[in-house]
Amino acid sequence: MTTALLSLGANIGDPLAQLQYAAHCLAPWCYAHASVYRTAPWGVTDQPEFLNSAVLVRDISATAQDWLSRAQTIEQQAGRTREVHWGPRTLDIDIIACWHNDDNNTPIISTDPHLTLPHPYALERSFVLVPALEILSYHHPNLPLTTEFRQALTALRSRDPAAETSIQRDVTLQLVPGGALS
């Protein structure tokens, strides 16, 4: 059995509907989802703001590659095209981290060029760290990843004061209508 932390983002079309679509597709495996956050674009900054969230998913038989395949299928179904690196997108689902559900929650490490785990840029992105910590702190407070994310967010905020204002929780938006996966 594996658990994966997935980051969701969208900024073109109807971003909230795209995030809700992803949550709906992931519902059979999802056991936690974060709030929706409005975030400044990262990388290519001349584009609309993003909506971002995060989910925790678990499956008795899935591998890290299976999570990647599921994420890419959902992205394709949502009309995702890969035209500009870090550019606008209808839906982006990144596998941030994946671990085995054994006694030690053993992390899955991958150097595959198509799936690097843990995600190589996660610790530099407040739009990943903030939603992820919202759910990791509650569901996995003692996981080393949770501690690493807390430390990274503290360091990011001290290095870049704009990181704090580049992400804002939007209490008017819900990843899943009604607030729970059904």
CA distances from 130 to 65, 90, 109, 154 (A): 25, 21, 22, 11
State yes or no: is 92 an active-site residue. Answer: yes
Short-list 97, 165, 78, CA closest to 127: 165
Per annotation, catalytic residue among 59, 66, 94, 150: 94
Short-list 107, 120, 104, CA closest to 7: 120
What are the backbone dihedrals phi and psi of residue 166, each rounded to the nearest 5 degrees, phi first? -80, -5
State yes or no: is 82 an active-site residue. Answer: no
Give the residue numbers annotated as catalytic, written as ranges: 80, 89, 92, 94
